[in-house]
Amino acid sequence: MSQRNRLQNGGRIDRSKSLTFTYNGKLLKGYAGDTLASALLANGVDIVGRSFKYSRPRGIVAAGAEEPNAIMQVGATEATQIPNVRATQQSLYDGLVAGTTNGWPSVETDLMEYVGKIGGKMMPPGFYYKTFMFPQSLWGTYESYIRKAAGLGRAPQDTDPDIYDKMNQHCDVMIVGAGPAGLVAALTAARAGARVIIADEQNEFGGSLLSSTETLDGKPAAEWIASVVQELASFDDVMMLTHSQVNGYHDHNFLTIQQHCTDQFADRAPNGQIAQRLHRVRAKWVVLATGAHERPLVYGNNDVPGCMVANAVSTYINRYGVAPGIDLVLMTSNDNAYRTALDWHDAGRNVVAVVDSRKNPQGTLVDAARERGISILVGSGVIEAHGSKRVTSVSIAPLNDAGDAVVGAIVKMKADTVATSGGWSPVIHLSCHTGARPVWNDAILGFTPGATVQKQLTAGAINGSFTTANALNEGLSAACEALSHLNLTKPDVSLPATQDIEEGEAMALFHIPHTKPTSKAPKQFVDYQNDVTAAGIELACREGFESIEHVKRYTAMGFGTDQGKLGNINGMAIAAKTLNQTIPQTGTTIFRPNYTPVTFGAIVGRDCGALFDPKRYTAMHSWHVEHGAKFEDVGLWKRPWYYPQGQETMQESLNRECLAVRESAGILDASTLGKIDIQGKDAREFLGRVYSNAWAKLAVGKCRYGLMCGEDGMVFDDGVTSCLAENHFLMTTTTGGAAHVLEWLEIYHQTEWPEMEVYFTSVTDHWATMTISGPNSRKLLEKLTDYDVSKDNMAFMDWKPMTVAGVPARVFRISFTGELSFEINVQANYGLHVWKALFEHGKAFNLTPYGTETMHILRAEKGFIIAGQDTDGSVHPFDLGMSWAVSMQKPFSFIGKRGMQREDCVRADRKQLVGLKTIDPNVVLPEGAQGVLDPKASIPMPMVGHVTSSYWSANLNRSVAMGFVKGGLDKMGERVFYPLVDGRVVEAEICSPVFLDPKGERQHV
């Protein structure tokens, strides 16, 4: 196929750069500067898709973001597939591979079309709500067919090879749209010294000027554009973004711009380059100069390929040198669209007729058409297009004054292209994103931006100011207003002279009547992508869907990937007419982000893969990796979970680690525990308020365990706090709770008790913490320090400063295993040195590294809780059997005290934490198993509580478990049953949670 629709000359394409691309398996040619759409039209491709519901053939109707039909699958390889690319926005590049998304066996000949033709009659809007109900069991089957038929393109199966990026930007003035209004605004702001960002979705600046034959200062508009662009580029503080859609306008002037960096030029980004960059812009002022979209008219079979929006036809001619047909019928309700007839004529093609709904059109452009001898049929409309895969002819009929009835004989004319214009709809999308409701403007028959609390200004066609002269003026005045708010001086800017064109009054016309009532007329499409017709909208209104939101939802109007850019206003007009209301009475149309779809990858930027979330490491991490540790995710931390050796199973590793600790010595990297340095004369009092137990008498050099509760009395964290000096404490928290606890302390200090003299500083990362535990841990420590760590000099719950392996350390004699333990803290820069030194001297004691899992087992043998595992935010200290950690006598009503005394919190039958001893010692209860008292009870079974912690204890050669049981503290020795998913029922005896060394002798040696 040659480029049979390509004009001999003209257009902003580079005819010296021929490009080859593949469309549905065929090789086609285009030029640099083409879009995929313009290249397809140049090659005479009529059908670019099949409609969703009726499988009707569809062609390109528009030239920009509003295109509903030309939705392509693009990508040369599996990994680079992109679904749903709008051909009108995709620049052509050499080697581009595109295809249509629906149609079987091909988009040209689609068998579903016949199904659509026959079944379509049974598919009015909402038909699916009225059927497929019986039997219920078959809905899944119906649904699978519906799903297959829907869905446009497909996602790739392979991993995306492209890189996306995000960048934060700040500016004084963000200008959206680089048409005449935007360019003048940018130039004005830039000359005043403002920091400016100007973005446009097109491949070059110029906006509407690129598609028209207008002159500025008597010269082609392109020359003026080039001079402005050149000047803008000379400012350091001006950022110019082409191929960049501003897609979201969020609160407080935050905007997102999707910039296509390479994906408009290549199937995948060349080595290391960014495919797309998402700019996150915070602008002091925003100027929306987003222009307008032309509204097509709604008439019979207006979806046959060859039916287009008038301005799109002009764009293809003037910008791309493509005339998408031979014989044009133009239908319009306004003067502006006459340009298309002139362009078509001047391109050497045949204008069959201009069909004008107005009785007496007058204006510069109308005169120009008459001068060219173009036939103008006034007071008429195209009521129907004919043809299956391409328009072959049209039916034209005289209309009454209101434009709502056919009043004369039908004339049929041959044509292959129908261009229509019902006027222009301002592109108000961004102005709606922060909640402003647009307002209807009768003068322009469209919505314009409503009042907003954003620092937003608008200029040009978005305001309904459609002429270039007005756009330039408004661009200047918007910039000047922004500059005055920014306290910048308005510079000299002279606007170029525009052509003087007088336009006659336009007629309010949306829906062309047919000789038949709408319900019986050929389908008149309003929303192409979702196959919404005028008849469908009328039906929805008749059925009682009277709010425009109901109409939209019932018919799916505006829910396509084009978000109703072409169809929404026509749909509202039809609904309004059906309901005998005005358009503003019917409602308004609200747009949400995004203006056009945004690649997920671009939104994510670099926050994916290895950078999805930080991995936090301790100072000894490299050692753990070298020694084969498996890691557990705890918050953002990577903690050693266990250290398998050889072919060990996990349980074998755990058994080995557990035995080593109790028999000799083990070592745990405990650096991830939260640590907070607390200083000030009120530090001690503060501790008393935030912990449930007493702190008044903790002596210097001593450590104490504490529970932290919310005001509701429920435990949320725990840890050991040590008295470093009278006014100086070191608090430890759980690994996951560190940040929350610090903020908790701060909020009470800053908002409730600011008079207290105390400061909190996180030192979690500062200290590397290694716990040596086991009967030989003292002997090991003695090898590395000269300090007297004997029982007499360093008792249980003492801390001492000393030098360990040559490094100054703080050593805490606290134990989470129930064994003799020393927690050695050194400045993290020396952590690995000390850790390695311990191993050098630890060989004699079989020093065994153990991970979090062994730690959990060892503490469970001792009945110590883990906040977050044995608590869930709904248990207070008494529920945990930890009344010893609550001091109700403290003078200050500590946080949690009042909460834990509420009526429901003092019930005797609350779930309480107890030990659980399985009757069969070899059975390990699954954590999460739910207990019942009567395993034979019928479902729903009354449950008494769940297992929170459960392990195989190699030391005890049996299982150990803890869990909640209703009233469990008073049920020692009684039985609980755990019906499991696999059908087993495990029986357990309620016991003390302390399974090993109940007197605590091992840790006191």
* C-beta of 17 vs 898, nearer to other proteins: 898
* C-beta of 105 vs 544, nearer to other proteins: 544
The set of residues, in sequence order, having a beta carbon less than 8 Å from that of 557 and lying 6+ positions away, is: 526, 527, 530, 532, 537, 551, 564, 567, 568, 571
Consecutive H or E run containing 574: helix 568-578
**Interhelix angle 534-542/568-578, nearest 10 degrees:** 40
For 50, the token pair is: 């099949």
* C-beta of 107 vs 768, nearer to other proteins: 768
* C-beta of 8 vs 136, nearer to other proteins: 136
Contact 704, 813 (CB under 8 A): no
CB of 59 to other proteins, least distance (A): 20
CB of 392 to other proteins, least distance (A): 26
- Alpha helices in 424-487, H assignment, sequence order: 429-432, 468-485
* C-beta of 551 vs 991, nearer to other proteins: 551
CB of 908 to other proteins, least distance (A): 14
CB of 373 to other proteins, least distance (A): 43
Query: Cβ of 274: how many Cβ atoms within 10 Å?
Result: 19
* C-beta of 22 vs 827, nearer to other proteins: 827
DSSP conformation class of 748: I
CB of 847 to other proteins, least distance (A): 20
* C-beta of 373 vs 940, nearer to other proteins: 940
Question: What is the spatial distance between Cα 72 and Cα 48, in angstroms, rounded to a whole number?
Answer: 8
- Residues, the chain, total? 1005
Question: What is the spatial distance between Cα 902 and Cα 884, in angstroms, rounded to a whole number?
Answer: 20
CB of 102 to other proteins, least distance (A): 10
* C-beta of 148 vs 843, nearer to other proteins: 148
Question: What is the spatial distance between Cα 704 and Cα 620, in angstroms, rounded to a whole number?
Answer: 27
Give the phi and the psi of residue 230 in degrees, each rounded to 5. Answer: -65, -40
| Burial class of residue 141 (count of CB atoms within 10 Å of its CB; 0-12, 13-18, 19+) | exposed
* C-beta of 123 vs 694, nearer to other proteins: 123
CB of 714 to other proteins, least distance (A): 8
CB of 274 to other proteins, least distance (A): 6
* C-beta of 547 vs 957, nearer to other proteins: 547
813-849 in b/e form (b: 16+ CB < 10 A) is: bbbbbbbbbbbbbbbbebbbbbbebbeebbeebebbb
Question: What is the spatial distance between Cα 259 and Cα 275, in angstroms, rounded to a whole number?
Answer: 9
Question: What is the spatial distance between Cα 182 and Cα 250, in angstroms, rounded to a whole number?
Answer: 20
User: CA-CA distances (angstroms) from residue 614 to 556, 610, 674?
Assistant: 42, 8, 17
* C-beta of 15 vs 681, nearer to other proteins: 681
CB of 465 to other proteins, least distance (A): 22
Question: What is the spatial distance between Cα 351 and Cα 771, in angstroms, rounded to a whole number?
Answer: 89
Nearest to 822 by CA among 832, 833, 810: 810
CB of 143 to other proteins, least distance (A): 6
CB of 415 to other proteins, least distance (A): 28
CB of 608 to other proteins, least distance (A): 5
* C-beta of 547 vs 790, nearer to other proteins: 547
Contact 690, 748 (CB under 8 A): yes
Nearest to 667 by CA among 638, 720, 627: 627
Contact 153, 83 (CB under 8 A): yes
DSSP conformation class of 99: E
